[in-house]
Structure 1
Amino acid sequence: MELTKHEITFDTDQLRSEVAALAETLGEQAERAAERAAQWVAPAVERARTGADRLAKETAGAAKEVQERLEVLSEDALARAERAASAARTAIDAPGTVTQRAQRATVAAVNAAQTTAPRKSRRVLKSLCWLTVAGVAAGAAYVVWRRSQPVEDPWAEEYWADSTEDADAE
């Protein structure tokens, strides 16, 4: 059996037009698929964005709260360390052997570090606030009382004076 070569001829113009038609069809289908995907993806992306915004706000709030607590804790730790150092210095300056002074300094430092700082009393501020509230209440009561009092105009004519003059004239 013998293989022969067959000549294959192509009509390049027809091939070009078919490829162009195929490309146009593929472009239209890709465009429709993109529109469908956009209709499905856009709400999902919007939900994800709003969820991310909400989480970012919550995280920022939590971070701010943590920062505030860290500041309070660092201030408290610094105050405790200062009290412990002061108590240790006082114990070391006391008379006694080196061992006794070291033991007293250790005990004093531990006790000072474990105690909490005394809270500041705000009696003056509280008293001032209550006095302000009482003053406002008294002022409001005075205004209400003053407005409830009858008002007499000393220059006004009495309404019955005209009626008696008319009766006398007749």
Structure 2
Amino acid sequence: MNEAGDALSPRELRAWVAFLTAGHLMDHEIERQLKRDGGLSHAEFEVLVRLRSAEGNRLRMSDLAREVMVSKSRLTYQVTQLERAGLVKRTGCESDRRSVWAELTHDGAEALDKVRPGHRRVVREALIDVLTPAEIDLLGDALSRVAGRLRER
């Protein structure tokens, strides 16, 4: 294993470049499908998905920012766009006056339902169908370890 700061070996560089390239291409395909099917950005889709899976279809803005892994200011912008479109609404938190809830609206749930089949199709065609079941398990395990290390920082 290389010391920190050492150049990547050809094997390591190949893995890194493949990871970056696949990630960028996947993000581009997903973004294109979401825009086409529902006028949503990938970031907006992620917000809607997190709200849909939350208890009561709502989360505190600070919790939502952690879940979608963006800054609070970036999330505020995304939620403002979604709120203008009628897909999310913000309400004050009764128990903590400093907190604000973001809540999925009926229209937001419908928008999510509209784009989800296409999203699943893109993920399946571009990633899942390309890999064997063993590779899917390996990829899931490996990227979970990477994410775990980064969350510790």
Q: TM-score range by the shorter chain?
A: under 0.3
TM-score after normalising by structure 2 = 0.25
The structure, 1 or 2, with the larger RCO (C-alpha pairs under 8 Å, 6+ apart) is: 2
TM-score after normalising by structure 1 = 0.23
Structure with more of its chain in helix, by fraction: 1
Larger Rg over CA atoms? 1
